[in-house]
Every structure is written in structure tokens, then in C-alpha cells.
Chains A and B, each alone.
Chain A
């Protein structure tokens, strides 16, 4: 055997040993009974053709490799940003395990979340008992200050009514009557995680705000960051920008920056940081609520407006103009001037873009991810003289597609771009094969497209499972945009080095200075 106790091989080299190779070969020969390699290759090549792309786009029922997650994931993410809040997902427990692993694999942190663990009898008789027991157990076991309830499909299909269930549970003494149990119905078969985020935010706010007698407007502002894989870095950057502006009177509604970034000091923190519970009712009196991601907050902002607040939303404030717009709004709302420090940051960002312009100009990109991110990324690429060619959001709506088109029409560099709302990553494969681009921007799932089509992947969208710690660095505002710019350039230069690395053949351009 190639494996021995003296020298234990890791699995990668181990299975390359002749014994294993032979075994794998035999398995293929005797049990797979597949088509000959030539035929597999032939069909594989055909699947990269325009003809296949037409068939792929004609697909009606099957979605292959969707670039979106489900509502409860967004709800869990939103609730995690509040102080000592436990997410409670009413439904089957398997779903909840998925949200936890998803968030853990991305943030490399524990992600706490419980479910009402409904089983078949709960499906038949309704999940009330699971809710009653579940809330009591959650309170007893994990001592939260607030339990945020969302739902899985199972509860939604049988039509469990959260409002009535929670009232009944409180009546049965499962938790005290004044204990905060905000809720949101979050069926996965409607919308995506960005909608779940929206529903849960609205649920939490209305839990506190609907009780309030009157709203006494003050000068404070609320900011909702939205669902964002880079939230740890971005929320901290947001706070820094606000401090530079001299704005102290604000509430970030759902601040996950400390939840998903706890230190290793011997203590396990089930809850860490987050928006203070006491700040939520006060936030009603704010002058305005700003959303950093429009498509993460349509209902929440409508609700805030209903309560008499000014509202404004942005598309993931990134890039020069993206950040300009956000800062101008802040300045307008608070009466604070844009400070010299931010002016300098802006100048440095533009300086960096100017320095590297020759390498960025005319590069072509395919982008996928959440609607606001794709919008911001495309807008920034246009600013660098790059050309977005494919902008895809599986959870993008017609309204999003229209907004994207308007953005692309505003620049000659957006002329050749196609917007793909509701399409999936198997569609993206066809696009990359038939109309190739220089760079693919998306999540870790793009690595298969990278391998398949040879398009280098830049990981800037949730989830990022196979690279560590990127979420600790901001991607928003001037400073964050600089990070994004450097990532883009690193990829471009790595590719350039890679293409010129053959000694004596291509390395006449393997330059020390670029």
C-alpha cells in the first residue's frame, strides 16, 4: 500500500499513487459504462457553443446553479445584528443548519440560530406546540434579550400564523408577555435572502415602533447596511466615515460587525455587539432612515416613510460617484460639511485609478451577485474605463434590469453589456463561453466557471468559502473602493505574469516593473 505509518500522505498525493489510479480506472471501466472520452469531449465542446447557449436560454423549468439564497438566511443575518438576539426559525431544523454553516463558512465564526424543529405531526396538526416549547427552551437555554422569529417553507406551506402563535405562546407562559419576539414570514419560495433581510428588518422595527404612542422627530439618522458578505469591514468603515464627518447621532440598524468577528481570547461569545435593543424604539424619532442597499429594504423603507421619516436608498456605496452620493446625502441631512480627510481619501482613490488606468482601460467583466452589488460593481468598472459585458442577478427583478440598463446607457463603456435578471450560473457559463470576458466577479461558486471557461475569478460577492478573511476589509466608500481596485489589479497583474511566465518563450514580458 502506498500509505504507511512512517510517511502518511495527504489525500491529494495519496490518490495519485498507482494503486489508487488503477482502482479509479477500473471503476470507470467496469461500473460507469460511460461514453467514450472522445464523445464526452465532443459534447463538452458543443455545450460551449452558441447553439447550446440558445437552448440554455430557452430553459423554462430547471434552474441550474442559482446565484441566490433563501429568505430566512437574510432574516437570520438581519437579526444577528441586534444585541443578544437569537434567531428562531419556525420550521424544520435542517434548513437552519444550512444557514448556520453558510454564515460560518463565510465569516469563519460561529453562527448561532435555532429552529422549532417541526416534524411530520407538526406539519399535520400545525406548529403551535413547537413554537410554544421552542420559545421557552430558547429563552432558557441561550438567555437572549430578544428572539427574532422567521419561517422556513414548511411552516409557510401549512400556513402557520406567526402573530397568533407568538401571542398564544406568551399567553401560555412560554416567554413573558413583554419579552420582545419580533417576527417575519420568510418563505423561501418567494424572493431571496435580500427580501428576507427586508422582511425581518421591518418585523423588528414594527415590533418596537408600532407600540410607540407618538414620534418626536429629532436630528438623528438611521442607517441600514443591508445583506453584505463584507459587512464586518464595511460597517466598521461606515462608522469611521461617520466619525470623520463629525456625525455622532446615528443608529445602525443591524450591526453585525462584532457578531461575525469575535476575538480568540478563551471566551465563547454567543452574542457580541450589535445594535442595542434600547436604541431600536428611539430610532423611530430619527429624522431619516438611509438604506445602503435599495433592494434589501423596499418594505422597511416604505414603513419608515409611513412613520414620517425621510428615506433614501443607495446601491452599495462603492466607487467615486457611489460614495459621493452617499456623503452628499449625509451632509444634506445632518448639515455637516464633508471634512478635509474624506476629500483627501477621494483624491487618493482617483490618483490610484489614474496611476493604473493603462491596465484597467478596456478590460471586460462579467459580474454576478445581489442586485445592489452588481449595480455598484458595474458603476465602478465604468469609472475605471472597464467594460461590463454581462451583469447577472438571479434575484434581480425587471425593475433592477431597467435600472442597470440606465446605468450602462450613461457611459460608452457600458454599450456592449447585457443585463441578465433571473438567470443562473449555468447561463453564465454559456455567456462566458460564447462571449468571453477578461474577469469574472462573483462568489466562491464562480470557481467552477473559472475552471470551466478559464476566466479568472474575483471574489467580491457572498458567499466566499474558499478564501479567508476578505470580509474583514471594507469594500464600500473611498477606502473600500481602493481595496476593490487593488484586488482587480492584483488579478490583472497575476494573469499578466501567468501569461508571460514561460522561460525563453513568453517571458520577454515577465517584467519586474509594471
Chain B
């Protein structure tokens, strides 16, 4: 590992703003927060993947992956980060390293030429160059290539040093943030600066979630100056250092970035969420309060309260018709972080019963909120192995599981409906109106008639009907009429034999039971 990268990783792991990190001893802190990977156990995405997905929503730049084909090929356009304009981010650029390139050490030259071709053909405002395992192993210096190319072609070339073998997806997110800090943020000055400029960090505009929130900000006159990285343009990221406040959405991935923006440019940050009604209101309040503290007109607070009152009334009205469809249903939430509690309140308000919520990746504050809302901490759980989740779904009689895509099949095998609330979902659930989409999705999932087919046994497996008193078949000759009844009478039988339900345990053998790598991180 290059020394520069080594120290960078040590740096991002020692995050003073991270509660977990603060709680560690000096020795533990030194070891970093990377969870050791267990060879042979199921694992999630790599550092490259993490870096790529964090930066890919910058829509107008070319994302050039310096690697053999598969790194880009397998991850190409795999998340629904929506763009309101340029489609360049969806184009898969790669150097497609081959055996000869690797043996002969042609990687750097090929990368340089690839940068040239991309710039000549597409004229992007910048090229993001991603290092991967192979070039890192053979020692390609992408920093040097990017520097030379930027000078030669006059287009910024941003090296993203997060080769896959360095670690987890989460580390990749952090390294992506470092690349932005080192090479992008602060390189362009905005034409005008207002007291209403904010940064939103950690929202990737998946399925257009940012757009569900932007109209609210527009109505308050708040401008998203820096978006990292939902529906972002290169210039937008480069100007982020002039914002008055940073809202860190839903992700610990980029907390280092937020903290360093505060240290270097004096921009205070807070963690907030646009999931759930109360949460959205809370986020808007904090945003406005901080802006006022930093020089915005105090009347912003009044406008904010008025907006919240109006929007909350509107969404509760809109949700009312769905109450009879979802009331009384039992929900198991398996998400994490702030979502642990932010959705709970709204679901309870609709008459749904939340039988449990996960608190992985959640802060102590998050956990307190959960206890407060659920009135007990009995239904709080941390990471959960699939077989435990399966058992909980079965035992608690959950009507619906809300989780990320990887638990979908645990739910289906437990014959429980499932709603995707993580990054791969296809519907936006953010903001006030997002709650409506979410409740609609729940209605659709729990009330689909297919579940009846899924849960009930095949008709030939149903238990035999009760025939009342059992009458044995007639046998022998009738003593009165002397008629033979041999074979005439038959006892009630069914052609198909009934099968006993396979015990639940048997269904579990196929599941990986790693506690650490089960969900996306």
C-alpha cells in the first residue's frame, strides 16, 4: 500500500465527530474501524464500489474506471441516482486493462490516452479517475497521470484512490469524500453568495428523493449550493465551501467530509433526515435555525413554521384514506441509522404496529429516540443474522418487513411481504409526500392476493376434511340378503397424501449467517 493512501485511511478512520470512535480506547482507535473480513464468509461491496457509488451521482462528469473490464462492467449504472440533465454519468468509461497492458506496464499510458479520448469526445467539466486492485498492485500512479492530463488538456482530472482490496464499501465512501476535499471543493468560487446557501451531503437523489425535498427548500428561499452528490454538477461540488450550513443526511459515510468542511471553511453541520414527517419538519427547522444563526433574516423561522404546519396538515389528509388498508398491520423495520425511529412514528400514527426496529449504524441518540417512541427498548435489535430474522418474522407474526434488498428473500421465504426502503428501491420516500409513496407501497405489498397463494398449502396438501364418525368399509357377505359386498365399500381416502409442513429449521440451511456482512454497509 502506498504510504499516502495508508495515512489517508488511518486519517479517515480516526473520526472525532463519530460517536463510536470517541468511545474507543487509544489503541482501538489506532486499529481503525474497519471490520476484519472473514475469508469464506459472505461479504458486501469493496472500497472501489463505495467510492464509485458515492461519486457517481455527479452527473455531468465522466467517471473513468482504470481497471480490467469487470469493475465497471459489473457496477455500471447499478443505482437509480436520478439526473435532471446530463446523462454522462451513466456512460461506462473504463480503460479495460488487458494482460498485455499489465505485463508490459502500459497501464499509465493507456489511462492517459483514455482521459484524452474522453475529454476530446465528451468535453466533460471534469474526469474522475478511479483506481482499482489491478493498477494499484502493478503500481500505476494515477495521481501523477491525472496531474499530467489536467495540465495537458486543461480539464480537471480527479484521482480517486480507493482500490477494492483496501476494504469495505464504507471505507470507499470515505475515500471518495477525501478525493472531493483534496481536489474539488474550493476550486471554484460562486458568482454570488447568499445567507441562504446550504450543502446537502449524503443524499444521492436515488429515485429522485432529493427532488421531493427541493421544492420545500425552494419555497423557503433556501438554495442548495453544494450537493454531495445527489443530482450534482461538478461546479456545484466545487463551490460547496461557500455554503452557510451543511446538512448531513442519513449517512455516516461522509461524516469526515462534513467535519473537515467545518474545520477548513467554518461551515457548521448537523445530521438530519428527510424520512418521516416529524423528521422532515425537524430537519427543516434545524436548517433554518442554523442559517439564521449565521446571518439569515430571522423571519425565515416564521416562514419555516408556516410551511411545516401547512405541509404536515396536507400529508396527514392525504394519508387518511390509507389508514383502513394498513391499520393493525405489524411491521418489522430493518433499516438502521436514523431510519430506525424516523419512520416508526408515522407508521404508528397510521395505526400500524411496529414490532421491532433495528438500530445498527444508529447513534446513542437514535436509540434513545427509539425507546421514547416505542416506550420500551425490548423491540430494538442490532445486526441480525438471516435465521434470527426469519424466526422473528415467524414468531412475531409480522405482516410486512421493511428493509434493504438483501433481506427480501428472507422475508419471502418466511412468506412475509416486503417493502424496500434502502438504496435500491425504485420509489422515493423522502419528504412529506414521500410518506404517501411509502404507505402506498406498504398497502400494495401487504394486500396483494398472491400472499394467500403463497401462505396456504397446495390444495392437495390441505388436511383431510373431517368425515365425522369413521365408518369402516363393508366386508364379507350380508347375513340377510347374502349379497357380497367385497370391495364395494370404500373408506374416505384422498389420492394425494398430506405432507407435513417442513419444520422451519430446514429452510434455513441455505442462509449465510454472518453477523457482520449481512446488510449493505
User: B-contacting residues of A (Cβ < 8 Å)?
Assistant: 320-321, 324-325, 327-328, 331-332, 334-338, 343, 346, 350-351, 353-355, 357-358, 360-362, 382-385, 411, 413, 503-504, 507-509, 511-514
Contact = CB atoms under 8 A, between A and B. Distances in A.
A324 B457 CA distance: 11
Contacts of B412: 351, 354-355
A328 B444 contact: no
Contacts of A350: 450, 453-454
Most buried by B among A332, A411, A507, A508: A508
B449 interface: yes
B460 A507 contact: no
Given A331-B496, A513-B424, A385 B449 contact: yes
Contacts of B80: 509, 511, 513
B207 A383 contact: no
B449 A411 contact: yes
A357 B207 contact: no
A362 B77 CA distance: 29
B194 interface: no
Contact of B445 (A321, A328, A357, A514): A357
B453 A338 contact: no
A420 to B, nearest CB: 24
Contact of B454 (A324, A334, A336, A354): A354
Interface string B370-413: 00000000000000000000000000000000000000000010
B36 interface: no
A199 B123 CA distance: 73
From DSSP, what is the main secondary structure of chain A's interface residues?
Answer: helix
Given A337-B497, A513-B78, A507 B87 contact: yes
Contacts of B458: 324, 338, 343, 346
Given A338-B496, A361-B444, A411-B449, A328 B459 contact: yes
A349 to B, nearest CB: 9
Interface of B: 76-78, 80, 82-87, 207-208, 412, 417, 424, 426, 441, 444-445, 447-451, 453-454, 458-460, 494-497
A334 B445 contact: no
Nearest to A336: B495
A358 B84 contact: no
B59 to A, nearest CB: 10
Contacts, number: 93
B460 A331 contact: yes
Nearest to B424: A513
A321 B454 CA distance: 12
B342 to A, nearest CB: 23
Contacts of B448: 357, 360-361, 384-385
Contacts of B460: 327-328, 331, 337-338
Contacts of B494: 332
A383 B450 contact: yes
A508 B86 CA distance: 10
B82 A508 contact: yes
Contacts of A413: 449
Contact of A384 (B84, B87, B426, B450): B450
Contacts of A514: 426
23 contacts: A327-B460, A331-B460, A332-B495, A334-B495, A335-B495, A336-B495, A343-B458, A346-B458, A351-B412, A354-B412, A357-B445, A357-B448, A358-B426, A360-B448, A361-B444, A362-B444, A383-B449, A383-B450, A385-B444, A385-B447, A504-B85, A507-B83, A513-B78
Contact of B78 (A337, A509, A512): A512
A377 to B, nearest CB: 15
Contact of A382 (B78, B208, B449): B449
A501 B494 CA distance: 55
Nearest to A324: B459
Contact of A504 (B87, B449, B451): B87
Contacts of B454: 350, 353-354
A497 to B, nearest CB: 13
Contacts of A353: 450, 453-454
Contacts of A358: 426, 441, 444-445
Contacts of B426: 358, 509, 511, 514
Given A331-B495, A346-B458, A354-B454, 14 more contacts: A327-B460, A328-B459, A331-B496, A350-B453, A353-B453, A357-B445, A357-B450, A385-B447, A411-B449, A508-B83, A509-B80, A509-B82, A511-B80, A513-B78
